[in-house]
Each structure stands twice: as structure tokens, then as C-alpha cells.
Amino acid sequence: MKTQSINFYRGESTSITLTIEGQYDNHDLVFVVKANNNQESPRVIEKKLSRGEITILSYDAETNLTTIKISMSISDTADLKIKKYVFDIDSINLSNTEEVQTCIYGNFNLTADVQTPSDGYETPETAKRFITISADDGNVGDIVQIQLNSNNEKVFKLISLMELKSQLNNI
């Protein structure tokens, strides 16, 4: 059985292509992603060959390897948290459904994408740049103040409560 990691961007509709050992004629393949490998953990993604969500692309008899494609849609991951999940693919013998074998397993690393189909807008030419302020940028007790810079543009500045008090006393 092969171990592999899958890196996937949240909200993408990109297919996942994997190579697994064995031939899978007369088998159903089931791809499952869960938060962890506990039996009680719910399936967050499930794809099946029998539902047309997995396609067998090729089988190489010389190497005994099968290449499959798992079709993913935007909704499969759009609402999932960015984190490391686990996945596996089971093979179920359609002649004897009691015969189940795990073909491959590993980590399913879900990553945030910068641009997504669900962010909804193209940036207008007149748009202003957004600045992210991290808690690491300031000190405990700092506050964010909007000020004008030398070009008369509004900017954010982190100031201490003492600086704010001094500004208020000068009003």
C-alpha cells in the first residue's frame, strides 16, 4: 500500500490524478477525506468510481499500476477549514463486497488560495490597496488609528494608549 500527500487549494475545481498499485476491473473505488482517522470522524469528501466521480485513466500490466483521476468541484472544499486532513482510497470487489482493500492513504493538505472563484470581484482600477495588520505588528494595548500621510492619503498607524492620550490632550 502506497502513502502519499495531496496538496489542494480550497475552492478549486481541479482534478486529482493518482497512481495506485493493482488492477481495478469489477471494483468500485472510494476516495474519502476526513479530519482524522478516527472511525467516528465524519467524511468531509467522498468520491466514487461507481458514481462517475473517479475515472480510471490507464492500467499498465507491466508495472501493475493504475492511474486514476478524481473529479473535484468548488463545493467539495469551499466551506472546509484550512488544515491537514487524511484521505484513503478503498477498493471494493463488486463480486464480493466483503472484500475491501485500502489502495493508498495519506495527508490531504488543504491550503488557502489567494484568488478564488468565490471571492466574486475583479479589482476595479480605482481600488485602494488593502493592508493587513497582524497582532504581531504591535504591542499589547496598541490601537489602530487612521492618519493622513505626506501625500494626503489615508493610512493606518498603530499607536499606544499614551500616544492617543497625548493627542487628545492637544485638542
Mean pLDDT by 10 residues, the chain (171 residues): 91 94 95 94 96 96 97 92 95 94 96 68 60 71 84 83 86 82
CB atoms within 10 A of CB 121: 6
Q: Say how many domains are in the chain.
A: 2
Provide the grid cell at 90: 478503498
pLDDT at 33: 97
118 part of a folded domain: no
Cβ atoms of residues 9 and 112 within 8 Å? yes
102 and 141 assigned to the same domain: no
What is the structure's pLDDT at 31?
A: 98
CA distance linking residue 60 with residue 67, whole number of Å: 9
Residue with cell 504581531: 136
Q: Are residues 31 and 100 in the same domain?
A: yes
Whole-angstrom Cα distance, residue 91 to residue 24?
8
Whether 85 and 7 share a structural domain: yes
> At 83, is the secondary structure helix, strand, or coil?
coil
Q: Same domain for 9 and 92?
A: yes
Q: Do 100 and 165 reside in the same domain of the chain?
A: no
Q: Which residues pair with 31 in a beta bridge?
A: 47, 89
pTM metric for this prediction: 0.68
pLDDT number for residue 63:
96
Same domain, 163 and 87: no
Q: Which of 49, 81, 84, 83 is closest to 68 using CA atoms? A: 49
pLDDT of residue 92: 96
Cell output for 58 = 490507464
Residue 103 vs residues 22, 135, 141: alpha-carbon distances, Å:
8, 44, 54
In this structure, the answer to whether residues 11 and 95 fall within a common structural domain is: yes
Nearest to 70 by CA among 117, 113, 103: 103
Q: Which domain holds residue 147?
A: 135-169
Do the domain assignments include residue 130?
A: no
DSSP conformation letters of 117-162: TTS--PPPTTPPPP----GGGS-TT-EEEEEE-TTS-EEEEEE-HH
Q: What is the pLDDT of residue 131?
A: 62
| 13 and 53 belong to one structural domain | yes
What is the model's pLDDT at position 91? Answer: 96
